[in-house]
Chain A
Amino acid sequence: MSRPPLPELPDNVLDQAIGWLVRIESDGANPQLLEACQRWRQAHALHEVAWQALQKSDAIFQGLAALPGSVARDTLQRLQGGRHSRRQALKLLGVGLLASGVTGWSMRDSTLVPWGADYATEVGERRQFLLDDGTRLQLNTASAVDVQFTAQRRLIVLRRGEIFIDTGKDAATAGGRRSFWVSTRHAQLQAIGTAFAVRDEASGTRLRVEDGVVAIQGKGQPVMVAAGEQYLIDAIGSQRVETSTLDASAWARGQLVAKRMQLRELTAELARYRHGWLRCDPAIAHLEVSGVFQLDDIDQALSALSDSLPVRVERFTPLWTRIVAR
Chain B
Amino acid sequence: MSSPSTSPTPHADVRALYINHHAWLLGWLRKRMRHGDHAADLAHDIFVHILGKPEQLQQLRQPRAWLSTVAHGLLVDRVRRQRVERAYLEAIAHLPETEVPSPESQLILLETLARVDALLNGLPPKVRMAFLLSRLEGLSYKEIAERLAVSLSSVEKYMASAIRHCYLAQR
Closest chain B residue to A74, Cβ basis: B91
Q: What band does the interface of chain A fall in when counting residues whose beta carbon is under 8 Å from B?
A: 35 or more
CA distance A68 to B105 in the complex (A): 13
Q: How many residues of B contact A (CB 8 A)?
A: 54
B103-134 residues with Cβ-Cβ distance < 8 A to A are 103, 105-109, 111-113, 115-117, 119-120, 125, 128-129, 132-134
| B13 cross-chain contacts in A, Cβ below 8 A | none
- Of all chain A residues, which has the CB nearest B164? A18
Contact A26:B141 (CB < 8 A) given known A68-B95, A78-B87:
yes
Inter-chain contacts of A19 with B (CB < 8 A): 160
Nearest Cβ distance between residue A183 and chain B, in whole angstroms?
27
A88 close to chain B: CB less than 8 A: no
Task: Give every chain B residue within 8 A of A61 (Cβ-Cβ).
Answer: 116, 135-136
- State whether A72 touches B113 (Cβ < 8 A): yes
Contact between B113 and A64 (Cβ–Cβ < 8 Å)?
yes
Q: Are A73 and B137 in contact (CB under 8 A)?
A: yes
Query: Quick check: is B170 within 8 A (CB to CB) of the other chain?
Result: yes
User: How many A-B residue contacts, CB cutoff 8 Å?
Assistant: 143
Would A1 and B85 count as touching, CB distance under 8 A?
no
A68-B99 contact in complex given A104-B34, A107-B34, C-beta closer than 8 Å: yes
Query: Chain B's nearest CB lies how many Å from the CB of A54?
Result: 6
CB of A82 closer than 8 Å to a CB of B: yes
Residue of B nearest to A282 (CB): B97
Query: Does A77 have its Cβ within 8 Å of any Cβ on chain B?
Result: yes
Q: Are A77 and B132 in contact (CB under 8 A)?
A: yes
B60 within 8 Å of A (CB atoms): no
Chain B residues with CB under 8 Å of A319's CB are 82, 85-86, 89
Check A76–B160 contact: CB distance below 8 A: no
Q: How far is the CA of A276 from the CA of B109 in the complex (A)?
A: 16
B70 CB–A CB distance under 8 Å: no
Cross-chain contact A22 with B156 (CB below 8 angstroms): yes
Is A151 located at the chain interface by the 8 A CB criterion? Answer: no
**The residue from B141, B155, B164 contacting A14, defined by CB atoms under 8 A apart:** B164
* Residues 45-78 of A contacting B (Cβ, < 8 Å): 53-54, 57-58, 60-61, 63-64, 66-78
B109 is contacted by which of A60, A67, A77 (Cβ under 8 Å)? A67
Contacts of B106 in A (CB 8 A): 316-317, 320
**When the two chains form their complex, are residues A76 and B132 in contact, meaning their CB atoms are under 8 A apart?**
yes
Judging by beta carbons under 8 Å apart, are A107 and B112 in contact? no
* B171 at the binding interface (Cβ < 8 Å): yes
Most buried by B among A57, A63, A77, A316: A57
Whether A80 sits at the interface, judged by CB under 8 Å, is yes
Contact of B91 among A58, A60, A71 (CB under 8 A): A71
Q: Which residue on chain A has the smallest CB distance to residue B163?
A: A18
- Tell me, yes or no, whether A235 is within 8 Å of chain B by CB: no
The verdict on B21 contacting chain A, using a C-beta distance below 8 Å, is no
**Does A79 contact B166, Cβ atoms closer than 8 Å?**
no
What's the nearest-Cβ distance from chain A to residue B170, in Å? 5
Q: How far is the CA of A277 from the CA of B116 in the complex (A)?
A: 22
Contacts of B133 in A (CB 8 A): 73
A265 CA / B65 CA spacing, docked (Å): 50
User: In the complex the two chains form, what is the Cα distance from A316 to B141 in whole Å?
Assistant: 39
Q: Is A54 in contact with B167, judged by CB distance below 8 angstroms?
A: yes
How many whole Å from B159's CB to the nearest CB in chain A? 5
Residues of A close to B134: CB separation below 8 A: 25
Nearest residue, chain B, Cβ from A280: B97
Q: In the complex, A72→B116 CA distance in Å?
A: 10
Bound complex: CA A59 to CA B87 (Å): 23
A68 CB contacts on chain B under 8 angstroms: 95, 99
- A-B contacts, 23 of them at CB < 8 A, read A7-B171, A14-B167, A19-B160, A21-B163, A25-B141, A26-B156, A57-B166, A60-B112, A60-B116, A61-B116, A64-B112, A67-B109, A68-B99, A70-B136, A75-B84, A75-B88, A76-B128, A79-B117, A82-B87, A84-B125, A107-B34, A314-B103, A319-B89
A-B pairs, top 6 by smallest CB distance, nearest first, are A316-B103, A63-B112, A69-B137, A78-B87, A74-B91, A75-B91
Chain B contacts to A: CB under 8 angstroms:
34, 79, 82-93, 95, 97, 99, 101, 103, 105-109, 111-113, 115-117, 119-120, 125, 128-129, 132-138, 141, 152, 155-156, 159-160, 163-164, 166-167, 170-171
| 19 further contact pairs, Cβ within 8 A, besides A63-B108, A79-B83, A317-B103 | A14-B164, A25-B159, A26-B141, A26-B159, A54-B167, A60-B166, A61-B136, A63-B115, A67-B101, A68-B99, A69-B138, A72-B132, A75-B88, A75-B90, A84-B125, A276-B85, A276-B86, A316-B103, A316-B106
